[in-house]
């Protein structure tokens, strides 16, 4: 099974350094399911794109700031290939068993 995780972000480099690892270290990742993380950046001006690149995350960029996460979530869903879709806010930290429990 493939789980698509869609994260929308804006100027959140520091938060992503905590939120992304909480997804990547999910119980069952690589054995019970495969993760696909898709980030949609809303015109960040900090090092957000560098942080996402350091994790090898598929990243889309909005051409202009959309003022919220909904358009980014929709863009991410358009390219996702997962059997299941989860949303991650850029400041969320997931419990280790979140995906398995859901």
Say whether pLDDT at 90 is over 90: yes
Question: Quick one: pLDDT at residue 67?
Answer: 76
Question: Quick one: pLDDT at residue 64?
Answer: 82
How sure is the predictor about 9, in pLDDT bands with cuts at 50, 70 and 90?
Answer: very high
Residue 24 phi, psi dihedral angles, 5° rounding: -65, -25
- The fourth-level CATH superfamily of domain 2-95 is Spore Coat Polysaccharide Biosynthesis Protein SpsA; Chain A (3.90.550.10)
How sure is the predictor about 91, in pLDDT bands with cuts at 50, 70 and 90?
Answer: very high
Cα→Cα distances 6→18, 75, 88, Å: 16, 9, 6
Please tell me the pTM assigned to this model.
0.92
pLDDT in tens, 22-60: 999 999 999 999 999 999 999 999 999 999 999 999 999
Q: E strands of 1-102, at which residues? A: 2-9, 34-41, 58-61, 84-89
Residues ≥6 apart with Cβ < 8 Å to 15: 90, 91
Say whether pLDDT at 66 is over 80: no
Q: Contact 3/35 with Cβ under 8 angstroms? A: yes
């Amino acid at each position: 099974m493939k789980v698509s995780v869609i994260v929308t972000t804006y100027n959140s480099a520091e938060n992503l350094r905590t939120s992304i690892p909480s997804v990547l270290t999910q119980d069952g990742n690589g054995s019970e399911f495969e993760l696909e993380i898709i980030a949609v950046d809303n015109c960040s001006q900090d090092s957000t794109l560098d942080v996402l690149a350091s994790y090898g995350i598929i990243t889309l960029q909005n051409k202009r700031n959309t003022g919220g996460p909904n358009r980014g979530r929709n863009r991410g869903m358009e390219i996702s290939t997962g059997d299941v879709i989860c949303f991650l806010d850029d400041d969320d930290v997931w419990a280790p068993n979140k995906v398995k429990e859901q």
